[in-house]
Chains A and B, each alone.
Chain A
């Protein structure tokens, strides 16, 4: 069975600053995928970024990038130039053996 751990329940960042959300995972599978999802208050969960475990290069999507440390089983999300619209709950997830497992999530607030 795989596990995903998000140990920080809440974080806060000043608008225009950079914030890093941490996530660790554990799986016995060699082929797996990692995701960060964003769930704004009362709104739909959307995919932020996706990383294939077999790729060494860190995924990047505009202001969002990951730091994938495979040996440490760490998958952190960096948000640059934070915007008010980035305020949401962020979930880290791991898909292995056809099963997607989520962490408990972290609530990110953005200070104007």
Chain B
């Protein structure tokens, strides 16, 4: 369970705050992902980075801003969030995001439980 780590594990913020979520993977992978998990809904893919390049933005509002300085680290910068953004935010990594056979399995971090007041 230590292959992908996320900090903080819990975060409470007001709508005017600015905060950042951090994800780090120790698996030597090249692809990293942000997902949003809300109650009673499937996991929603937010962003994909492959070899540090953003390859997918799944129509995510601009109040969420990802950053991937290297293949091991991924950040999600948050500002001016809404209460409906409260959810569990999961980070994942895989060997490659390009769909090459055998590189597809994603490994998840423990998530950050975000509450927006």
Residues on A facing B (Cβ under 8 Å): 4, 31, 33, 35, 37, 43-47, 50, 52, 91, 95, 97-105
Kindly state whether residue B43 has any CB partner on chain A within 8 Å: yes
Known: A31-B101, A45-B90. A102 touches B42 (CB 8 A): yes
A43 lies within 8 A of B110 (CB): yes
Q: How many contacts between A and B, using CB within 8 angstroms? A: 43
* Bound complex: CA A4 to CA B109 (Å): 22
Residues on B facing A (Cβ under 8 Å): 1, 40-43, 45, 56, 90, 97-99, 101, 104-111
Known: A44-B111, A102-B42. A97 touches B105 (CB 8 A): no
Main secondary structure of the interface of B (DSSP, over half): loop
A residues in contact with B90, CB < 8 Å: 45
A4 lies within 8 A of B42 (CB): yes
* Bound complex: CA A4 to CA B45 (Å): 14
Known: A35-B105, A95-B104, A98-B99. A44 touches B40 (CB 8 A): no
Known pairs A98-B97, A102-B42; list 7 more (Cβ under 8 Å): A31-B101, A43-B1, A46-B1, A47-B107, A95-B104, A98-B98, A101-B42
A residues in contact with B107, CB < 8 Å: 47
Identify which of A33, A35, A37, A98 gathers the most chain B CB atoms within 10 Å of its CB.
A98
A residues in contact with B109, CB < 8 Å: 44
Q: Which of A31, A43, A100 is within 8 Å of B106, CB to CB?
A: A100
A residues in contact with B101, CB < 8 Å: 31, 52
Known: A31-B101, A45-B90, A46-B1. A100 touches B108 (CB 8 A): no
